[in-house]
Chain A
Amino acid sequence: MRFLVLIVVAAVTVTISQTAEAFCGFYVAKADTALFNRASQVVMVRDGDRTVLTMANDFEGDVKDFAIVIPVPTFIEREQINVAEQGLIDHLDAYTAPRLVEYFDPDPCAMYERRELMSQLPAASKVNADAIGRANAAGVTIEASYTVGEYDILILSGKESAGLIRWLNDSGYRLPQGAEKIVGSYIRQDMRFFVAKVNLDEQKKAGFSYLRPLQVAFESKKFMLPIRLGTLNADGMQELYVYALTRSGRVETTNYRTVRLPSNTEVPEFVQAEFGDFYRSMFARQVEKENRRAVFLEYAWDMAWCDPCAADPLSTDELRRLGVFWVGPNAVGEKPARSIAPQQPQNVFVTRLHVRYDAEHFPEDLMFQETGDRQNFQGRYVVRHPWKGKASCDLSDYQAELAKRREREAQQLAHLTGWDIDDIRAKIPTVAYNPPELPEPWWKRIWN
């Protein structure tokens, strides 16, 4: 085994230092979760059987109407629950978001010289006796009740779903139609229910106008995310982002296909102005291509670096606050830069999964596994700006090549998004011709 471990270390070091040489373009835009309405975000920290979930609330409306019911595999004590800052998830979202990068064609008349351009840094972005009485009558056990931050939290277990649902309804939690069967299934699988609603007094005291993410830490062999209750919530497909933070490598689903989104594709320049539209269309098309049954990989990277960075990697402190319990206080901090070269590895690998689901295509909860794959992957799209400077030679070859490239980019864009090729072509400018500045012919000044 010692032998194997040595090889592993060597292989990882080699891979990282090779990639460090690569230059992945200047970051210009990202497709973050704000692009999609009603997107839920969950951060899953997992190592062995230890799990820390951070759940962001996308709830819009009056907070007094807000409540969530989450099946959890074990009993949860007060110290296992925490309230996190939304900024942590926003940062993770920005760091892992699919990105648009740009390159500038060099002067076709000059010898290629790598130009050191300054890059634009992205803007990094209480339960009363009455309730207990009713609970007992309904066959529901309130195993614990806590107030954490602005939330009142109950840990419930039940003997049968009808009683539990009746109790929840009587206590002011309204569960959508069809919840009974699913709740019943979770009860038989010996799962508890984590129920949270907003304590308005506490929220006023804390002074937050939005709902902060809830965190739960527990130990369970089940590496899964219960999505079945979520399928009852709203009409149509739901949007979910899962950020997995692990020690060894990429996370994938074991009961659904995990598919890499098309990446590293060159697209026309105008996409820069409408990157959000591009990404939405592209994602929708890929979902259909996989018959709505796949989970998509958007990012898989060692947390120590990025290239190019859509945002800085998370600091050790931020990772710890997200529940990454194995990073020490002495780990290396972050430094903002255009691209962050591999530093001391943080031993944290981030996987960003994006799934659009409904009950028909995702009948089962999402089951995960951690793989040993540490190969980096990012959703990266490229625009190439043509040379716009003055020409000092005949540019016809370059322009012919440019026209071909633009047609290729148009076709790739049509293929990725399903947009009409003629609409795309109409948005692509014709090649502007700058007549060459040739040196004056020698005979011009003979007689004048």
Chain B
Amino acid sequence: MNTVTSAREQSRINLRDPRYYQIAVLSTLVTFGVVGLNFGISAANAVTIVTMALATQYAGTRLCGLPAFDPLSPLITALSLTLLLRTDLLVLAALAAVIAIGSKFVIRVRGKHVFNPANIAIVTLILATDHAWISSGQWGNAALGAFALSCLGFLVLTRAKRAETTLAFLGAYSLLLVGRALWLGDPLTIPLHQLSNGALLIFAFFMISDPKTTPDHRIGRIFYGAFVAAATMFVQFILYEPGAPVLALIACSPVVPVIDALLCGSKYNWSLPSAVISTDNPKLVKGVS
């Protein structure tokens, strides 16, 4: 009886699940990018990524014997990939989706996946091939006001319970950029210009904020956000690599299990974003999303 009820609950659209809002915002951004900014997202890539992400999630669900197929998380990963990853080869778009979703099932520590799915897929392809890149300049500034607002709106609406990572990252990164500008004697228009970068905001609101791959404890998340910001500065201004935040995040991800081991916190559950869930309740934490 219990099982029937919980299955029914799972199948019902739960509007407390922030992922619905996230999907809505990401889809709007994809549409805006394609129609308004025309910045090189190909429809074929988008369809391939979404299809392959859902297929991989389905295969993973069956192979791991999970109770239900969850389309929401792979959809979010697919949309993030579509927004950030550029490739001229369809096969790489497909591969990105497989790596992203596959990594959730394969690379796990203490019941949590280690790498943000879209993040690991993008970095793998950038490092392994010459045919993948991130077009971080393509968002421009004109569209930025509306974009920043929608991100903030999204944050306030749905993520307030787990916004620390994003805020810590953006806060620390802003401070570091302003500090650098002051040290160099540059005008403040330079750090402002560096911060008003669409790809950076997508990263901050939709990638680093992923509650499944950030520390469980609040203090841990704040530390982690600031740590990624420092790593981003290192990659950007010492290694001079484009796509610094994405590269920094992948390098910092292995720190999360360490933080989790040091600071005990509650594991995240999508359907109960504000609830405190004990880590020793296997019923609530089971699943790969």
Contact = CB atoms under 8 A, between A and B. Distances in A.
A151 interface: no
A291 interface: yes
Contacts of A221: 239-241
Given A4-B129, A184-B185, A375 B88 contact: yes
Interface centre among B132, B142, B192, B242 (most CB of A within 10 A): B242
B131 A363 contact: no
A260 B38 CA distance: 9
Interface in A394-434: none
Contacts of B192: 363
Contact of B137 (A185, A223, A248, A255): A255
Nearest to A185: B184
Interface string B101-145: 000000000000000000000000000111111011111111000
Nearest to B131: A372
A181 B181 CA distance: 11
B91 interface: yes
Interface in B167-223: 183-187, 189-190, 192-194, 197
B86 interface: yes
Interface string A52-77: 00000000000000000000000000
Interface residues of A, number: 38
B87 interface: yes
Contacts of B258: none
The main secondary structure of chain B at its interface with chain A is: loop
B89 interface: yes
Nearest to B184: A185
A373 B88 CA distance: 6
Contact of A369 (B92, B187, B193, B242): B242
A50 interface: no
A108 B194 CA distance: 57
Interface string A240-270: 0000000011001111111010000000000
Contact of B86 (A188, A189, A363, A373): A373
Nearest to B91: A7
Given A4-B91, A185-B186, A372-B87, A363 B193 contact: yes
Nearest to A360: B189
B185 A185 contact: yes
B86 A371 contact: yes
Contacts of A294: 140
B118 to A, nearest CB: 19
A372 B88 contact: yes
A291 B141 contact: yes
A367 interface: yes
Interface of A: 1, 4, 7-8, 11, 161, 181, 184-185, 188-189, 221-223, 248-249, 252-258, 260, 290-291, 293-294, 360, 363-364, 367, 369, 371-375
Interface of B: 37-40, 86-89, 91-92, 128-133, 135-142, 183-187, 189-190, 192-194, 197, 239-243
5 contacts: A8-B131, A221-B241, A257-B137, A369-B242, A373-B88
In the A-B complex, the 10 residue pairs with the closest CB atoms: A372-B131, A221-B240, A257-B140, A185-B184, A363-B189, A369-B242, A254-B242, A248-B130, A371-B133, A184-B185
